[in-house]
């Protein structure tokens, strides 16, 4: 169901006459770009599925949502929702809780067993996806919907990639992840686990195209002077072992070196594993930390200590030395020569991740530049038929971004296999708060999601953030201001002095009869959503 939109001249009408030569403009209904849609890395039509959900049509809203993203229940938990940062409603009172409604729809679909039907027609093409993380699973899903046979090969024993091995259970319960992956498999996607690919070129003999989505699962190393008794681990290995049920012995006092989301996750995990004290050491200030602000806040609530403007200088047998930093005139941290000793049974490095490119074999025609693989505008690598996405290409490293990469790659692979080209949509300028008539919207603060008390969080891996119930999710969906698109409020119909606007029925929008319209523009000035604009008659 698309948002209603009509540009109609009326039966037998002509712009050249009817309302006189004094009319130089006429109104038209538009389909404009909402800022939430523009900001979504997964390319969701957010405003549309919110609109559909407003009357309780949850399955229709969910079906609209999964056209772009097969993981609404996952993304409703782990996405850092740039859509909400961009939401115009935030300029009025508070941004629409898009992420919370997405989670509600995803959970509702799992609860009610909604499935995605396999394609009705097979294409005859076979595509290999290497890596069962968010990019790989997203690509497989969209390729399968297009009718292609899809095989995923992954070196681990369970699908999900960093959704499983990098995001702790207290943020993403595994039954939720498993349910949404199972839905993709049930469409006919084959997932081969414990299957490492050693040379991607060998696979091209059996497949028509390959999508590389191996992620970045190698921890970056840093030289830190250490004694023989120092216990130094990397964050990705710690989280991986916890997921596999073999958590390492970290000791009573744990120090984590890094300032990203992984650093916060592994410090919070250490507390849940029994550490009495977990300290994060980061060389810059909080506002420069790559960690999401909510992650930092929740870590602090759980008793994680954070030493900003500090760097690890030396570690040995139960003791760790940090050096304090200070910002220079350009805002860059510089050493001060001041040191502090901390008790530390183990040091966990969370300094970022790198890609394991060993699967490329001896391929000289696949470029790797600065630790990532360049791709063109279609997501194709330097080898025809081999595409790539996710953390292994130059881009922001988030689950949402990877899901968007998978979708984009799948649609370009489909076009390449069929010898077609994809029409590139011109960039649209999103609607701003200044375009809207905000006096039509009453104050309605967003619904707050309940969170587990901090004192209860660190005892186990129970989910921290709770979902919305049905009534609250409906309320939140209805807070959407429908920026730039008609939501059939009837304002234009009511204010037109010439009865030139006709209602076509629920969901069908309006028709402008230019036999009567004199181009006064009142409908434009009174449209709350800025969904009508004036255009010259000639």
Residue 502's domain is classified under what CATH number?
3.30.70.20
Residue 297 CB partners (closer than 8 Å, separation 6+): none
442 lies in some domain: yes
pLDDT given for residue 10 in this prediction? 39
Please report, for residues 436, 491, 506, 522, 527, the alpha-carbon distance to residue 495 in angstroms, rounded to integers and kept in the order given: 17, 6, 19, 7, 10
SS3 of 421, please? coil
Return the half-sphere exposure (C-beta side, CA atoms, 13 A cut-off) of residue 379. Answer: 30
**Extended strands (E) in 390-523:** 501-503, 510-512
CB atoms within 10 A of CB 55: 13
164 and 214, same structural domain? yes
* 98 neighbors 61 (Cβ within 8 angstroms): no
- For residue 342, the enclosing domain spans 221-352
Pick the closest to residue 150 from 447, 492, 416, 410 (CA basis). Answer: 410
CA 467 to chain centre: 18
Pair of tokens at residue 37: 């849609």
* Residue finishing a domain among 352, 369, 387: 352
Closest CA to 350 of 256, 277, 272, 250: 256
**Residue 120, domain member (yes or no):** no
Cα 342 from Cα 355, distance rounded (Å): 32
Q: How many domains does the chain have?
A: 4
Helix ranges, 425-490 (H): 454-457, 470-478
Residue 207, in any domain of the structure:
yes
461 with 516, same domain?
no
d(Cα 478, Cα 469) in Å, to the nearest integer? 14
What are the per-10-residue average pLDDT scores of the chain (538 residues)?
39 43 83 95 96 94 97 96 95 94 98 93 96 97 97 95 94 97 97 92 90 88 80 93 94 95 96 95 94 93 96 90 93 93 94 83 74 91 93 90 97 95 79 90 83 86 93 94 93 93 91 89 93 89
What local confidence, expressed as pLDDT, does residue 18 receive?
A: 52
Q: How many CB atoms lie within 10 A of CB 20?
A: 8
What pLDDT sits at residue 11? 37
CB atoms within 10 A of CB 364: 9
Whether residues 516 and 407 fall in one domain: no
The Cα diameter of the chain in Å comes to 92
Could you write out the three-class secondary structure of 18-65?
CCCCCCCEEEEECECCCHHHHHCCCCCCHHHHHHHHCCCCHHHHHHHH
pLDDT at 14: 41
Query: Is residue 59 located within the same domain as residue 107?
Result: yes
Reduced to 3 states (helix: H, G, I; strand: E, B; else coil), residue 321 is: strand
Q: Do residues 344 and 358 both lie within one domain?
A: no
Residues 214 and 358 in one domain: yes
pLDDT given at position 367: 83
The verdict on 301 and 326 lying in the same domain is: yes
Same domain, 228 and 263: yes
């Amino acid at each position: 169901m698309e948002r209603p939109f009509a540009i109609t001249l009326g039966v037998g009408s002509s712009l050249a006459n009817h309302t006189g030569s004094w009319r130089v403009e006429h109104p038209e209904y538009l389909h404009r770009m909402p800022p939430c849609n523009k900001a979504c890395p997964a390319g969701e039509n957010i405003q549309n599925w919110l609109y559909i959900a407003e009357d309780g049509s949850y399955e229709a809203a969910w079906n609209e949502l999964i056209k772009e993203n097969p993981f609404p229940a996952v993304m409703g938990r782990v996405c850092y929702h740039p859509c909400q940062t961009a939401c115009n409603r935030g300029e009025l009172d508070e941004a629409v809780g898009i992420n919370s409604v997405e989670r509600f729809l995803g959970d509702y679909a799992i609860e009610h067993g909604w499935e995605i039907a396999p394609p009705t027609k097979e294409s005859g093409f076979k595509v290999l996806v290497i890596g069962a993380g968010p990019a790989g699973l997203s690509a497989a899903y969209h390729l399968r919907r297009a009718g292609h046979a899809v095989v995923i090969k992954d070196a681990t024993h369970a699908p999900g990639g960093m959704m499983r091995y990098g995001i702790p259970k207290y943020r993403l319960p595994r039954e939720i992840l498993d349910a949404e992956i199972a839905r993709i498999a049930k469409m006919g996607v084959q997932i081969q686990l414990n299957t490492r690919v050693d040379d991607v070129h060998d696979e091209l003999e059996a497949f028509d195209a390959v999508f590389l989505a191996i992620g970045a699962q190698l921890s970056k190393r840093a030289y830190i002077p250490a004694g023989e008794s120092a216990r130094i681990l990397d964050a990705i290995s710690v989280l991986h072992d916890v997921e596999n049920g073999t958590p390492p012995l970290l000791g009573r006092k744990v120090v984590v070196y890094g300032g990203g989301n992984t650093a916060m996750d592994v410090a919070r995990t250490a507390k849940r594993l029994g550490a009495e004290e977990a300290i994060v050491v980061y060389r810059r200030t909080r506002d420069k930390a790559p960690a999401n602000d909510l992650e930092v806040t929740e870590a602090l609530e759980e008793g994680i200590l954070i030493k900003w403007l500090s760097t690890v200088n030396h570690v040995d047998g139960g003791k760790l030395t940090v050096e304090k930093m200070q910002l220079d005139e350009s805002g860059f941290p510089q050493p001060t020569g001041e040191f502090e000793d901390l008790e530390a049974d183990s040091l966990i490095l969370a300094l970022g991740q790198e890609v394991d490119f060993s699967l490329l074999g001896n391929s000289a025609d696949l470029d790797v530049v600065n630790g990532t693989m360049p791709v063109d505008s279609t997501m194709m690598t330097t080898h025809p038929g081999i595409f790539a996405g996710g953390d292994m290409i130059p881009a922001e490293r988030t689950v949402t971004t990877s899901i968007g990469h998978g979708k984009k790659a799948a649609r370009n692979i489909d076009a390449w296999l069929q010898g077609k080209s994809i029409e590139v949509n011109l960039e649209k300028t999103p609607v701003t708060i200044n375009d809207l008539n905000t006096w039509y919207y009453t104050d309605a603060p967003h619904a707050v999601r309940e969170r587990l008390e901090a004192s209860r969080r660190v005892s186990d891996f129970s989910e921290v953030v709770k979902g919305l119930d049905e009534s609250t999710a409906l309320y939140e969906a209805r807070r959407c201001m429908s920026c730039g698109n008609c939501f059939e409020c009837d304002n234009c119909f009511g204010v037109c002095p010439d009865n030139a606007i006709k209602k076509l029925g629920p969901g069908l929008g309006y028709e402008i009869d230019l036999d009567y319209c004199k181009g006064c523009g009142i409908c434009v000035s009174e449209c709350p959503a800025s969904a009508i604009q004036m255009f010259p008659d000639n």
